[in-house]
A = this chain, B = another copy of it.
Amino acid sequence: MATIKQIAEITNVSRGTIDRVLNNRGGVSPETERKVRAAMEALNYLPNKAGKNLAIRRKKLKFGFILFSPNSYNPFFSDVEAGIRKKALELEEFGVTVDIRFTSINETVRQLELLDSFAANDYNGIAIAALNTPPIAEKIREISSKGIPIVTANTDIPDSGRLAYVGSNYYQCGQVAANLMGLITAGKAKIGIISGSENIMCITERNAGFQKYLSENYSESKIVSITANNSYDEVESYLITKKMLGENPEIDALYLSAAGVHAACKAVGECGRKITVISNDCTPATQKLLEEKVIAATIDQEPGYQGAKPLEILFEAVNGNTSIQEYYYTDAIIKIRSNLSIE
């Protein structure tokens, strides 16, 4: 519990100088620095957060968050937004302002503009659900190199110079779905996969994890058919599910690896067969389907955390915390009918 004041007294140096050493601000003689570091070592000095948090108010930090607009096909992002707003309220006590900007799922140009705008207006940190395209990666690299920390949320761009990623380990999500599917169907399912756009990494990762785990652990099960919904659209989701179930009467299980859950389940209800359905995320529509036993299980990815944690990381980074990890994976949380209610 040593403080800067104590270190200052022991070393006969002013508190200002201790601060200079502590935060590597330069302008300290090697002799003094050595003495100060020795004392910090000896007293096992650790900076006090309450003190830092109070002092940082004067900086009036600004963070920006670029997120996908929630819509009927994918209401998931409104839970992310709720997480952002909650954390923003907390950070307000530390003098931090948070601004949110929305884009559609395929607006690369708009994301670039927003990134530029944040950087040009002296924002101190940026969080972004980033489209994984080369121009975005390049832009992130450019802004990061100016010293503005960037954290990716929900969708990642590795090797872009971003500070950290917060979100699902999608490959593992797929594995968990396969594991559940195996358990529920005694390892003998005839499976259809309703998938999403093949150029969105999270979808391909989920499918890969699912297929790998299934083939390694439930060799008697079989993936009968895979269809991708490339239009981010509820109607399309209904149509392809309807078609798949009609053309493949042996299918008795479905893995919904993308959004559009509600529409797909409408087709399931109409087919008249008993289908074991496993989906992702836990939106209100999905909860209702679990309640009605249409969906057997869904895999949640802590959307609130994906909104809150990136802001927390940015705050820590700006506040001089150097022990920030690269990956903050959310848990693959299994939701079934009986553990819905309590959060």
Contact = CB atoms under 8 A, between A and B. Distances in A.
Contact of A93 (B50, B57, B297): B50
B332 A172 contact: no
Nearest to A56: B50
Nearest to A178: B338
Interface in A1-55: 1, 46, 48-51, 53-54
Nearest to A53: B50
Q: Give the contact-size bracket for chain A.
A: 35 or more
Interface in A305-343: 329, 331-334, 336-339, 341-343
Given A172-B341, A180-B336, A334-B339, 18 more contacts: A1-B93, A48-B93, A50-B53, A50-B93, A50-B94, A51-B54, A176-B336, A179-B336, A179-B338, A183-B183, A183-B184, A183-B297, A329-B342, A331-B339, A332-B342, A333-B334, A334-B334, A334-B336
Contacts of A154: none
A111 interface: no
A175 to B, nearest CB: 4
Nearest to A343: B331
A93 B49 contact: yes
A170 interface: no
A131 interface: no
A285 interface: no
A77 interface: no
Nearest to A180: B336
A263 interface: no
